[in-house]
Amino acid sequence: MSALPAGTAYTERRPVRRLGQGLRRRRRLRVGLTQLGYVAIGLAAGLLVPRIHVWFTVSRGESAQMLFAVGAGLIPFIGVVFSLLFLVVQFGSTAFTPRLNLFHSSPVVWHAFGFYMGMIVYSFVAAFSLGRSDNVTGLVPIVTVVLLMVAVVLFRALQMRAFGSIQLASTLEQVSRRGRRVLDGVYPDRPLNDDGEKASPHGLPSGRHDVIWSDRPGVIQAIDVPRIIGGAREGDAAVEFVVAIGETVQQQAPVAVVHGATDMALDTTVRRAIRTGAERTFEQDPTLPFRVLADIALRALSSGINDPTTAVQVLDSEEGLLRMLVARDLDVGEITGPRGNVRVLLPLPSWGDYVGLAVDELIDMGAKYVQVRRRLERLLRDLLALAPASRRAPLQIRLDCLVSGRSTAESDTPSAPSDRSERQP
C-alpha cells in the first residue's frame, strides 16, 4: 500500500527495490538517515568553509571562540527546545487521546534535531580546522550567523507547531488532513457502481497455508504491497491478509494465508514486507483518523469534562471524512495483475464499519445532549441525501436509533465495531 494505490492493477514486472522506495516504507530508517545526513553535511562544511577565501578576513582567535560558544550553547538549547516535545505529547494524551501522535511524528521535529546536531558538528570541526594563521576567511562567521538564523527559524516553527498541537481546532484540522491523505492513498477517487459491492475474492489458486508471525507482538503500521506482489508473481500465488493495518499481530499467530505456493520463500517475503510498531500511525491506517476523532469526542462527553461543544466540532470533522467515502468504491482490497490474477487481498473496512466507528459511540453517549443529538441527526440526514442506494442502510439504521432513543446495540442490524481491533480474523 505504501507505493501502490489499492484497487488498481499492478504492472506485473519484477519489482525494482529502489533506495528511495525502501526508505519511504521505513520511517525509522528514513529519520535516522536524514539526521545522519545533517551530521555529514555539518562535518563537510566544517572542513571546507575555513578553506574558502573571500574578500575579507577575521581574527582566528575570535572566530574560534565564536564557534566553540555556538557549539557549546546549542547543547542546552536542544534540551530546552525538545522539552516542548514531551510537554505537548503529555498534554495531547491527557486532553485529547493517547493515540494522538501528531507532533512528535511531525517531520519538522526530527529535521530540527538533525539540523541542530549538524550545526554542533560544524561548529567544533570548523574551530579545529582554522589552521595556525592569525587571520581566517570571513566566510566562517558569515556561515555561522546564517546557520544561527536558520536555527531560530526552526525554533519558531517548532513553537508554532507545538502551540497548534494544544489547540482543539488545529488538532482537528491536522487529524482531518492526515485522514484525507491516507484515505486518498487507500481508495482511488473512483465512483461506486450502485449495483452493490463486488464479490471478493475470486480466482484464487488451489491449496493454502498460514503465514505465522514469528516476531514479537506489535501493531501493523505498514505493508509493502509491491514487494509481496513480486513474490506472489514468482510463485504464481495469492496472499490474503487476515490481520489488517492498525491491528495487533500476536507472536505465533497467523498474519496471512498464502494460496497456491508451497515453498516458504513467499512466507519470508510476506513477513519482511510487514512493518510493526508499538502504536498505530497515520501512514496506511484508514480508520485511525476516525478512531482519534471519536476518542476526542468521547473524552469531551465524559462526566469529568462535560464539553458537548467539542463533540460537535469533532462531528464536523468526521462528516468531512465520511463525505469523501460516501460515493467512492471501497471494494479495493483485491489487488490483481494485468491478466486478472489475484495477487494480494487486504482486509479493508466497509462503509458500515466507517459509519459505525464515526457515530455509534457518540449516539449512545452523546444523545442526551441536545446540540450533539441535533448535529448527529443533521450529519446522518446529509449523508443519506448524498449516499447511493447501497450505502443508505447503515445511515438509516443509526438515524432510527437516534430518533427513537435506542442504543445502536439494540438495533435489528448489529452495529459496526467501534474499532477494527475488536474484529476477529
Q: CATH classification of 199-277, choosing from 3.90.1170.30, 2.60.40.10, 3.30.565.10, 3.40.50.300?
A: 3.90.1170.30
Q: Are 391 and 192 in contact (CB under 8 A)?
A: yes
Cα–Cα–Cα angle for 323, 325, 326, nearest 5°?
65
Cα–Cα–Cα angle for 353, 358, 167, nearest 5°?
145
Cα gap 245→283, rounded to integer Å: 10
- Pick from 270, 337, 250: which is nearest to 4 by CA? 337
Which residues, other chains included, contact 170 with Cβ-Cβ below 8 Å and sequence gap of 6+? 164
Cα–Cα–Cα angle for 65, 68, 69, nearest 5°?
80
- Pick from 174, 182, 173: which is nearest to 313 by CA? 173
| Burial class for 370, CB neighbours closer than 10 Å (0-12, 13-18, 19+) | exposed
Give residue 28's pLDDT.
Answer: 53
SS3 351: helix
Which residues, other chains included, contact 80 with Cβ-Cβ below 8 Å and sequence gap of 6+? none
Which residues, other chains included, contact 76 with Cβ-Cβ below 8 Å and sequence gap of 6+? none
Q: DSSP states of 258-272 as a string?
A: EES--SSHHHHHHHH
User: Running DSSP on this structure, what letter comes out for residue 191?
Assistant: B
Q: Are 402 and 363 in contact (CB under 8 A)?
A: yes
Cα gap 277→379, rounded to integer Å: 35
Length of the chain equals 425
Give residue 7's pLDDT.
Answer: 45
Helices (H) and strands (E) in the chain, counts: 13, 10
- Pick from 387, 321, 4, 350: which is nearest to 180 by CA? 321
Per-residue pLDDT of the chain (425 residues; tens, 9 = 90+): 544 544 444 444 433 333 333 334 455 556 778 889 999 999 999 999 999 998 889 999 999 999 999 999 998 888 887 787 778 777 777 778 777 777 767 788 888 889 999 999 999 999 999 988 889 999 999 999 999 999 999 998 888 888 887 888 888 999 999 999 999 888 887 777 665 445 444 567 788 899 999 999 999 999 988 888 888 888 889 999 999 999 999 999 999 999 987 778 899 999 999 999 888 888 889 999 999 999 999 999 998 888 999 999 999 999 999 999 999 999 888 887 667 788 899 999 999 999 999 999 999 988 889 999 999 999 999 999 999 999 999 999 999 999 888 877 766 554 444 444 344 33
Give residue 338's pLDDT.
Answer: 62
Residue 47 vs residues 138, 308, 348, 356, 415: alpha-carbon distances, Å: 15, 59, 52, 60, 65
Give residue 317's pLDDT.
Answer: 96
Distance of CA 403 to the CA centre of its chain: 36
Q: Are 407 and 364 in contact (CB under 8 A)?
A: yes
Distance of CA 362 to the CA centre of its chain: 24
Cα gap 372→368, rounded to integer Å: 8
